[in-house]
């Protein structure tokens, strides 16, 4: 017996980064909402710098993976970067068996991913 946990999405900005924190089941029922909400949030920064924190994702199915690939393509086509963070348990195993752990840049925590993108997104210092 499995229990479904509705997905919640928390979006925010930290420096030049859009942070999407997902909690619950990232599956067919929630994939379209994630795609739509995160895609709209990408307009907040140029080039788009995106961290998707999956620390609290309990289940990710092929629909969730498809959305992540879509977002990766959208971000990189605009000259930006996407980092995933917090993969654990079943999600980590799913990324390994699908070889998506080689496709995505994955960091252990959202804080590490945010720090990396904030460094990359900082404008160069002004020089005479």
CATH assignment at residue 86: 3.30.750.24
Between CA 119 and CA 25 the distance in angstroms is: 31
Range of the domain at 60: 8-110
Residue 21 lies in a domain: yes
> How far are the Cα atoms of 49, 97, 110 from residue 93, in angstroms, in the given order?
26, 6, 19
Give 4-44 pLDDT, tens digit per residue: 789 999 999 998 999 999 999 999 999 999 999 999 999 99
pTM of the prediction?
0.89
Whether residue 128 is contained in a domain is answered as no
Query: Does residue 128 carry a pLDDT above 80?
Result: no
Distance in angstroms (rounded) separating the CA atoms of residues 35 and 30: 9
Number of domains in the chain: 1
How far apart are alpha carbons 86 and 40 in whole angstroms?
A: 23
Asked if the structure places residue 127 within a domain, the reply is no
């Amino acid at each position: 017996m499995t229990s479904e946990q509705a997905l919640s999405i928390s979006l925010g900005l930290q420096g030049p980064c859009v942070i999407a924190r997902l909690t619950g089941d990232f599956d067919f029922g929630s994939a379209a909402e994630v795609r739509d909400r995160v895609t709209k949030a990408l307009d907040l920064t140029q080039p788009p710098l995106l961290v998707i924190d999956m620390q609290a994702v309990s289940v990710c199915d092929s629909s969730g993976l498809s959305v992540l690939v879509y977002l990766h393509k959208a971000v990189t086509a605009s000259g930006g970067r996407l980092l995933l963070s917090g993969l654990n348990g079943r999600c980590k195993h799913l990324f390994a068996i699908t070889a998506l752990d080689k496709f995505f840049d994955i960091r252990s925590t959202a804080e590490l991913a945010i720090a990396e993108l904030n460094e990359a997104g900082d404008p160069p210092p002004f020089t005479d």
